Every structure is written in C-alpha cells, then in structure tokens.
Amino acid sequence: MAVYTEVSDDDLRSFVAQYDLGAVVSCKGIAEGVENSNYLLVTETGPFILTLYEKRVDPADLPFFLGLMEHLSARGVTCPLPVRGRDGEALRSLCGRPAVIVTFLAGMWPRRIQPEHCAALGEGLARLHLAGADFPLRRANALSLDGWRTLHDATHGRADAVKPGLAAALTAELAELERRWPADLPCGVIHADLFPDNVFFRDGALSGLIDFYFACNDILAYDVAVCLNAWCFEADGSFNVTKARLMLASYMKVRPLSAAELEALPLLARGSALRFLLTRLYDWLNTPAGALVKRKDPLEYLHKLRFHQQVRGIGEYGLTLPAGAA
C-alpha cells in the first residue's frame, strides 16, 4: 500500500455519497507498500479501505481481482470484499483513477515472524490454491519471465549505481531462468505477493489475507517459493530452515506437493527472488520525489537469490523427497 494520488475532501465526499455508507468521519493515507494509493476510510457505518489504482495496474485486470476476492470469500477464504454502490457497481473513478472501496479486515500482520506464523501461512496458502481452482476468469502473470526481461532491460543501465556488478549478475541469472523455467507443473490461481504485511493474525490465528492485486494464473509451487523468500529469512539474512519446514509441511497437509514440484522449488525460489529484486530495483530508481511510500531495498533479494543459487535439494528447506521419488 502507498499514497501517490491525493484526494480532496470534496472529491471524497462526492465519491462516498454513491454508497450507503453514511458520511465520512475520517480518511488517512496508508504508507506501506509501493503499488496503489490506499486510504483508511472511516464512515458512519465503520472502517473501510479506499484504493485508487495507479499506473502499474491495468484497469482491464480489475474485474479479475475483484471477482477473485468475492469467489474466495464464498469458499471460506477470509479476505476483503469489494463494496458495491447504490448502482450495484463496485468499480468506479476517483481523481482520474479507477477506485474501489473494500471491507476492512480485522487483525494485524506479524512484525516479528514466529515459526507458528509460518505454519499457519502454509495452510492458508494451500486453502487459497484449492479455493481458486474453479475461478472462471484468467489472468496471465505479468511479472513472470517476460515481465522480468522488461524490468531487466529498463534497469540494466543504472543497476551498477545501486551495487557494482549488479547488472551483469541480473543478466546471467535471467538467462539461466529463461533456459530452465519449468513448463509442466500444476497451475492455478496464485496470490503472487503473500508477504507478511498481506497476512493478518488475531490471537495467534491467521485471520485473513489481503492485497490480491498481483493475483494471476501461474505455477502453484511458485507461490510457495514466494512465501519461502518472504517469510523464512531472518533480519540478519540467514535462512530459517525450521520456519521453512513448518510452512511447507502445513501446506502439504492441505495440498500435497508432487515430487516434481518439490524438485523444482529451488529454481522457483530463484525466480521469485529475481522477480522482487527487479521490481524493487525499478521502484528504487523510479519512485517519484515526494511520494508517500517506503522504498524497499532491492539488495535484500540479491542476498536471497544467492542463497537459492547454492541450494542443491529441498533438504536444505527442511524436507526430503517422498520415498521412491525420482
């Protein structure tokens, strides 16, 4: 979440008047994240999240995102729901941007990740994958191989200003992933951005998932790899194998991973690390001056990428292949 577009009081009141939410009580920008402009909106009927979609989001994708939240919620996944106005529509325009109000999800994301958080996350991710299996809409992952190539080309000329040698390292890794990326693993709806700040807990239990604006159809195990990177490294950069083992084991109790998926996990984790390295690098180099947004260090993901480059099997993630697996 972030704030790029400021909303005036008059524009806000006119916008909210299209809903049965009562008068605006308060509206405060949310600075976490990097993608859209987000506000904590409080009306006479309670708290909501107001999102204005910025340039990286294709308006044509919004029916997929909003429909997916409704679909998952109907199948037991706790997530925000789009609020429909008096005309029955959820999506409309505010300050020249596509905009939507969604329900407020109670809970807090874990600032200090514990092993039990990783276990709950693994189960929740697997349930999301199963719940999305019959979602009828499709959206390609814009931040897979083709998207990585576009980001690589857009940042290559300035990458060494962030770290000497970074441009060459990214070029070599992308070429390797393009050569080896799997094409025959199980696919379905993935969240694609399930970082700790998108997972809420209450009283130690997972209470809901938010921010589905990278969701797409892609390799299910790639979503697992995203979570390995986002949840299982410590602040000092070390990999916590206990957290990884608990996350993977909990996932597999709900949706077992095949031997092929497990064998591919180190490569998928490399791809995930490169994806976030490149998007963070692009944002680091291109965030507008004065934007209310916290830039994220791309070099954190260079370290994670180097870790996964050295992994020779899933035993280093705390698991072993099933007996008899190739």
Contact 79, 72 (CB under 8 A): yes
Q: What's the rounded mean pLDDT across residues 229-251?
A: 97
pLDDT at 1: 42
Q: Please classify residue 56 by burial: count the beta carbons closer than 10 Å to its beta carbon, then call 0-12 exposed, 13-18 middle and 19+ buried.
A: middle
The end-to-end CA distance of the chain, in Å, is 43
Mean pLDDT of the chain: 93
pLDDT at 324: 47
Contact 272, 197 (CB under 8 A): no
pLDDT at 293: 63
pLDDT at 295: 76
> With 60 as the cut, is the pLDDT of residue 323 above it?
no
pLDDT at 320: 75
> With 80 as the cut, is the pLDDT of residue 289 above it?
no
**How many whole angstroms separate alpha carbon 307 and alpha carbon 309?**
5
Contact 126, 251 (CB under 8 A): yes
pLDDT at 200: 97
Q: What's the rounded mean pLDDT across residues 270-278?
A: 98
Indicate the pLDDT class of residue 292, thresholds 50, 70 and 90: low
Half-sphere exposure of 14 (CA within 13 A, CB side): 9
Contact 133, 188 (CB under 8 A): yes
Residue the block writes with tokens 């999240």: 49
Token readout for 39 is 């506000």
Answering whether pTM is above 0.95, one says no
DSSP H helices, the chain, are 9-16, 62-74, 115-131, 145-155, 159-162, 166-180, 220-231, 241-254, 259-286, 299-310
Q: What's the rounded mean pLDDT across residues 25-36?
A: 79
pLDDT at 302: 98
pLDDT at 326: 41
| Angstrom distances, CA of residue 71 to CA of 58, 154, 189, 194, 270 | 20, 36, 11, 18, 31
> With 50 as the cut, is the pLDDT of residue 6 above it?
yes
Q: What's the rounded mean pLDDT across residues 290-310?
A: 87
Residues of 78-106 as b/e, b for ≥16 C-beta within 10 angstroms?
bbbbbbbbeeeebbeebeebbbbbbbebe
Residues 35-74 have pLDDT tens digits of 788 899 999 999 999 999 987 788 899 999 999 999 999 9
Q: What's the rounded mean pLDDT across residues 99-127?
A: 96
Indicate the pLDDT class of residue 202, thresholds 50, 70 and 90: very high
Q: Which residues pair with residue 100 across a beta bridge? A: 51
